[in-house]
Amino acid sequence: MPPPTRRTLLAGFAALASPALAQPVPAFSSVSVDVGHLKAIGVGPMADLVRDAMTDELRRIFADRIGGRGPRLVVRLTTLHLTAFANAGRGLRGSASDSIEGEALVVGARGEVLARYPQIASQVAHGAWNDPDAEWRRAERVARTYAQWLPRTVSLPPSPHPRSAPAARP
């Protein structure tokens, strides 16, 4: 077999650098947020706001990783805490924060839990005491913060591209 020509090598490198190969492979068939527990403990309509904000943020963050027939990503929320002293983080006793807690589940096609990632997200509470919508905005902010941390928490399947892992040496 003759050695490859310069043109053949350049064509090979161009194929490796093509956008089709650079695109990540979808990892999840869908994403959803379960707020059943929040509703059961009396969070009420704010649970729906949290679900909608977090679902929106998850779809934005994982946009290039959703599609196909992979497992589902389900975030099950268990706690929402909005501090009573949201004075730009300066409550009665120093810093005040809002937080949300739950777990991200990677769920297979038959409903089996393939992986579980517990997580809590917290942020400084900002809002004016006399603003009737401040709590709603704080709940939305902490829900989006939780979603933004998930890519750091959830292990995504490795990419099957040849450049994703070093070749094994014989």
Domain coverage including residue 126: 27-155
Residue 17 falls inside a structural domain = no
> For the chain, which ranges sit under pLDDT 50?
20-24, 89, 158-170
Q: Does residue 123 belong to any structural domain of this protein?
A: yes
pLDDT at 127: 78
Residue 164 lies in a domain: no
- pLDDT given for residue 18 in this prediction: 52
Total domain count for the chain?
1
pLDDT at position 101 is: 97
Is the residue at 44 inside a domain?
Answer: yes
135 near 169, Cβ under 8 Å?
Answer: no
Residue 4 placed within a domain: no
Task: Note whether residue 165 is domain-resident.
Answer: no
State the pLDDT at residue 17.
55
Give the CATH number for residue 105.
3.30.160
Quick one: pLDDT at residue 34? 98
Q: Is the pTM of this model over 0.75?
A: no
Cβ-in-10-Å burial (0-12, 13-18, 19+) of 117 comes to middle
The pLDDT score that the predictor gives to residue 161 is 42
Residue 167 pLDDT: 47
Please report whether residue 149 resides in a domain: yes
Q: Is 3 a member of any domain?
A: no
